[in-house]
Structure 1
Amino acid sequence: MADSNVSDEMKQCYENLIVIDCGANLTNKKYSRDLDSVVQRAQDAGVQKIMVPGTSVKSSKEALRLSRLYPGIIYSTAGIHPHDSKSIVEEPKSWFEFETIAQSLECVAIGPCGLDFQRDFSEPDVQKEIFEKQIRLAAKLNKPLLIHERSAQADVLDMLERFPTVQQIVIRSFMGTTEEALKYLERGYYLGFTGYLCKDKSDTGVRKLLEEKILPLDRLLVETDSPFMYPNTRASKLPQHVKTGITERSLLFLHRYCTFQRNEPCSLPAIVEMIAAFMNNTPDEVALATAFNALKLFGLSQ
Structure 2
Amino acid sequence: MEQKQQKQAAVEAGASTQTQTQVDEELDIDDNMKHCFDNLIVIDVGANLTNKKYSRDLDSVVQRARDAGVQKLMVHGTSVKSSKEALRLSRIYPDIIYSTAGIHPHDSKSIVEEPTTWFDFEHIAQATECVALGPCGLDYQRDFSEPEVQKQIFVKQLQLAIRLNKPLLIHERSAQNDLLEILDKFENLPPVIVRGFMGTAEEALKYLERRFYISLTGYLCKDKSDSGVRKLLENGSLHLDRLLVETDAPFMYPNTRASKLPQHVKTGITERSLLYLHRYCTFQRNEPCSLPAIVEMIAAFMKKTPDEVALATAFNALKLFGLS
Scaled to the shorter chain, the TM-score interval is over 0.9
User: One-letter code of the match for 2:184?
Assistant: E
After TM superposition, the structure 1 = structure 2 runs for residues 1-302 of structure 1, keeping only pairs within 5 Å, are 12=35, 15-301=38-324
Q: Is the 8 A contact 1:254 1:270 kept in 2?
A: yes
Secondary structure of the 2:180 match is helix
Per-residue deviation, residues 21-67 of structure 1 (Å, max 9, x unmatched): 00000000000000000000000000000000000000000000000
Question: Deviation of residue 13 (structure 1)?
Answer: 8.0
Q: Is the 8 A contact 1:54 1:79 kept in 2?
A: yes
Q: In the aligned structure 1, how far is the partner of 2:156 from the partner of 2:318?
A: 26
Question: Deviation of residue 162 (structure 1)?
Answer: 1.2
Per-residue deviation, residues 70-101 of structure 1 (Å, max 9, x unmatched): 00000000000000000000000000000000
- Between the two proteins, the alignment pairs up a number of residues equal to 291
Question: Deviation of residue 15 (structure 1)?
Answer: 2.8
Question: Deviation of residue 14 (structure 1)?
Answer: 7.0
Secondary structure of the 2:143 match is coil
Secondary structure of the 1:26 match is coil
Q: In the aligned structure 2, how far is the partner of 1:24 from the partner of 1:287?
A: 17
Unaligned runs of 5+ in 1: 1-10
Secondary structure of the 1:185 match is helix
Q: In the aligned structure 1, how far is the partner of 2:63 from the partner of 2:212?
A: 31
Identity over the aligned pairs, expressed in percent? 81
Q: In the aligned structure 2, how far is the partner of 1:180 from the partner of 1:193?
A: 14
Q: In the aligned structure 1, how far is the partner of 2:36 from the partner of 2:263?
A: 23
Report what 2:19 is aligned to: none
Per-residue deviation, residues 112-143 of structure 1 (Å, max 9, x unmatched): 00000111110001000000000000000000
Question: Deviation of residue 12 (structure 1)?
Answer: 4.1
Report what 2:5 is aligned to: none
User: One-letter code of the match for 1:108?
Assistant: V
Q: In the aligned structure 1, how far is the partner of 2:279 from the partner of 2:191?
A: 36
User: One-letter code of the match for 1:234?
Assistant: R
Q: In the aligned structure 1, how far is the partner of 2:190 from the partner of 2:60?
A: 36
Question: Deviation of residue 163 (structure 1)?
Answer: 1.4
Q: Is the 8 A contact 1:57 1:80 kept in 2?
A: yes
Q: In the aligned structure 2, how far is the partner of 1:149 from the partner of 1:257?
A: 29
Secondary structure of the 1:284 match is helix
User: One-letter code of the match for 1:282?
Assistant: T
TM-score by length of 2: 0.89
User: One-letter code of the match for 1:33?
Assistant: R
Unaligned runs of 5+ in 2: 1-33
Per-residue deviation, residues 200-257 of structure 1 (Å, max 9, x unmatched): 0000000001111110000000000000000000000000000000000000000000
